[in-house]
Amino acid sequence: MDTTLHDPLAGRLLDGRYRVEDRIAVGGMATVYRAVDTRLDRVLALKVMHPALATDATFVERFIREAKSVARLSHPNVVGVFDQGADGAYVYLAMEYVAGCTLRDVLRERGALRPRAALDILEPVLAALGAAHRAGFVHRDMKPENVLIGDDGRVKVADFGLVRAVGAATNTTGSVLGTVSYLAPEQIEHGAADTRTDVYACGVVLYEMLTGAKPHSGDTPAQVLYQHLNADVPAPSAAVPGLAVELDELVASATARNPEVRPHDAVALLAQAREARAALADEQLDLVPPQEHAPAADRAGDRDGDGEGAGADDVTSVIARPLPPPDPQDAVQHTSRLEAPAPPPPAPVGPGPVVRNPRRGLIAALVAVFLVLGAGAGVWYINSGQFTRVPTVLGQTQAQAEKRLADAGLEVEQVKRDFSGAYERGTVMATDPAPGERIRGNGSVTLTVSRGPETVKVPDLEGKPLAEAKRELAGLGLAPGVITREFSREIERGAVISTDPAPGTQRSPDSAVALVVSKGAPVAVPDVTGDRVEDATRTLEDAGFTVKVAAERVHSPEAAGSVARQSPARGRQAAEGDTVTLTVSKGPRMADVPDVVGDKIDDARRALESAGFRVEVDKAFPFLSDTVSSQSVPGGGRAPEGSTITIKTKGI
């Protein structure tokens, strides 16, 4: 069936640039088309918000936030965003077109995947989310529909429409936006979302890839939400016998109902996934699951046997959050406040877990625990109470790791440092004992912290502010070296002009990198000598300089209160914002004038100049004598030091 036949955008030129060709997918908030950018002559994907939502400022803001967030990531495993705009009622994003299919298509077609294939998909997904998490974003809607697999085998994460900044207010009072099957318990219960909610969703996706089915199912979204809140995700090996225990542990770690126990972000989960892969033999990685060749109607997400595979719990939607269970004594007051999801559903028909009354189940569980403790407390203490398992702290900073170990009752005995190309500098790359190993409750752990790669490329810092450049060098394990400053008409003041060694040069960690920093464009210093201080200050500030007046005043030929001298001097080059220091004149010093009448001209000049005066000779014509006949200030008198004394010779 041609789904574009009656689509109003099919064949249309959107915003005078994008020619819409085929409809690719339809979601709850937008439709995605294959289109052609007529300016650059390239195929791209056009994500167009449903016109009914374009009048809602909240949805439009989310759309624009998606464009800006993804544009900042620039990661090979993230679907890129090229442009954002609007054409009438159509608000759109122009995005990278990935020829291929979604992970949902793969699961629908093949069912459960071999562990090697599941990890091959999971790892680039976590790399993309890790980049988002380290950039300060949370995806909030991870699911197989948002994992694209290109015809060339590349894996990319799409649809950052629900992205939020880490630390942004995400708590909501009555609802949460997301996809039922992949919501973390804290999203359902509190509306809270951070990097660990993405980790939870990835754990659910991994379970689905390994088993071909979602861990929690039900006839209504309320039933699925209830199970997320009250039941752990089962071990994949329970559904697929023979799966390695490392895969069970990986799923359990990612989907822990308590977010404090999960890896703190996708980077940490990626480290765990790589460890799990390294621990598996080839026969474990290539285990053929029984679901791989199951009929399409039995595969993940295909409830009706029609091969579509998209149920109500696969769609991103606004979901009402459950209120806390009412106290029996308060039943009348609470009844009017209860909203979807409904109270626990009746037991489903056929085999499977029975959903019981939560209070009755809780009481039964407590009674069982008390009985066990009462009968065998000593055995429990000997076999379990003295020991704990080393929590996973790989990929965390040293401070985060030490806190998590302390919370588990463990101490850090020693911190070692070693090179690593897989772990960022300053993060934990190994522990002794290893994560998951049993250790006495008051035991100690040795941490190995990454120094980063054994050699580091000097980054390109041109144009970056000095403080930012220093931070980037420190993040790579390099040290800022000697800093020199030069004039530059191209690089703004305070930014880096160049580095030594040059960008791209390989250096060992802790090596120094010299920085040349811009002083800005050179400016000629104007001459303000002899000007009043107020006038001189105005002239210099208008030229872009900062003015400082020296506290000490000096005698000079300039009038008292005017500028006697300046530094830098007139005509020198300085940078905008540099300081010019002015020294104020106390006026000239008075000096005794020697009597030079009757002296030879050369002798008279020397005597007057030695006394601090300038000399001017007025020779009579015709020249009958080289003897001084008079002087402008009589000998024995006083004149300002530095002033001019005129001497004359006799004529006819």
**HSE-up (13 A, CA, CB side) for residue 604:** 26
What pLDDT sits at residue 221? Answer: 84
Tokens in use for 320?
A: 């009402």
The closest of 195, 161, 201, 157 to 183, measured between CA atoms, is 201
Tokens in use for 644?
A: 């001019």
The pLDDT of residue 373 is above 90: no
The closest of 83, 87, 198 to 134, measured between CA atoms, is 198
Confidence of residue 144 (pLDDT cuts 50, 70, 90): very high
pLDDT-wise least confident of 107-121, 357-371, 554-568: 357-371
Q: b/e per residue, 66-80, with b = 16+ CB within 10 A?
A: bbebbeebebebbbb
The closest of 119, 117, 164 to 292, measured between CA atoms, is 117
The pLDDT of residue 609 is above 90: yes
Confidence of residue 218 (pLDDT cuts 50, 70, 90): confident
Span between the terminal Cα atoms of the chain, in Å? 125
Secondary structure letter of residue 314 according to DSSP: G
The pLDDT of residue 601 is above 70: yes
Q: Which residues are catalytic?
A: 141
Tokens in use for 437?
A: 């190993």
**Secondary structure class of 599 (helix, strand, coil):** coil
Q: Which CA distances in Å does 253 have to 250, 273, 277? A: 5, 10, 15
Q: Which CA distances in Å does 552 have to 277, 561, 562, 583, 584? A: 75, 12, 13, 7, 8
| 401 and 390 Cβ atoms separated by less than 8 Å | no
What pLDDT sits at residue 652? Answer: 53
The pLDDT of residue 535 is above 90: yes
Confidence of residue 124 (pLDDT cuts 50, 70, 90): very high
C-alpha to C-alpha distance for 404 and 425, rounded to whole angstroms: 19
The pLDDT of residue 60 is above 70: yes
Tokens in use for 305?
A: 């046997």
Confidence of residue 316 (pLDDT cuts 50, 70, 90): low
Instruction: Look at the block and give the residue holding tokens 């544009």.
Output: 71
Confidence of residue 313 (pLDDT cuts 50, 70, 90): low
What DSSP string runs through 383-411? IIITEEEPPP-TTSBHHHHHHHHHHTT-E
C-alpha to C-alpha distance for 304 and 51, rounded to whole angstroms: 31
Amino acid (one-letter) located at 133: H
What pLDDT sits at residue 269? Answer: 96
The pLDDT of residue 503 is above 90: yes
- Domains contained in the chain, CATH given: 1-97 (3.30.200.20), 101-323 (1.10.510.10), 390-450 (3.30.10.20), 456-518 (3.30.10.20), 522-587 (3.30.10.20), 590-649 (3.30.10.20)
> Which residue would you say has higher pLDDT here, 516 or 177?
516
C-alpha to C-alpha distance for 275 and 92, rounded to whole angstroms: 41
The pLDDT of residue 430 is above 90: no
What pLDDT sits at residue 363? Answer: 38
Confidence of residue 434 (pLDDT cuts 50, 70, 90): confident
**HSE-up (13 A, CA, CB side) for residue 176:** 28
Averaged pLDDT for residues 584-603: 92
pLDDT-wise least confident of 22-36, 355-369, 380-394, 428-442: 355-369
What pLDDT sits at residue 345? Answer: 36
C-alpha 492: how far from its chain's center?
A: 24
C-alpha to C-alpha distance for 300 and 211, rounded to whole angstroms: 9
| 99 and 150 Cβ atoms separated by less than 8 Å | yes
Tokens in use for 489?
A: 């008409």
Residues β-bridged to residue 118: none
The pLDDT of residue 134 is above 90: no
pLDDT, tens digit, 9 for 90 and up, residues 163-217: 544 444 344 444 455 688 899 998 888 878 889 999 999 999 999 999 999 999 8
Amino acid (one-letter) located at 359: R
| 240 and 211 Cβ atoms separated by less than 8 Å | yes
**HSE-up (13 A, CA, CB side) for residue 336:** 2
Total residue length of the chain: 652
| 466 and 513 Cβ atoms separated by less than 8 Å | no
Most confident option among 192-196, 477-481, 512-516: 512-516
Secondary structure letter of residue 495 according to DSSP: B
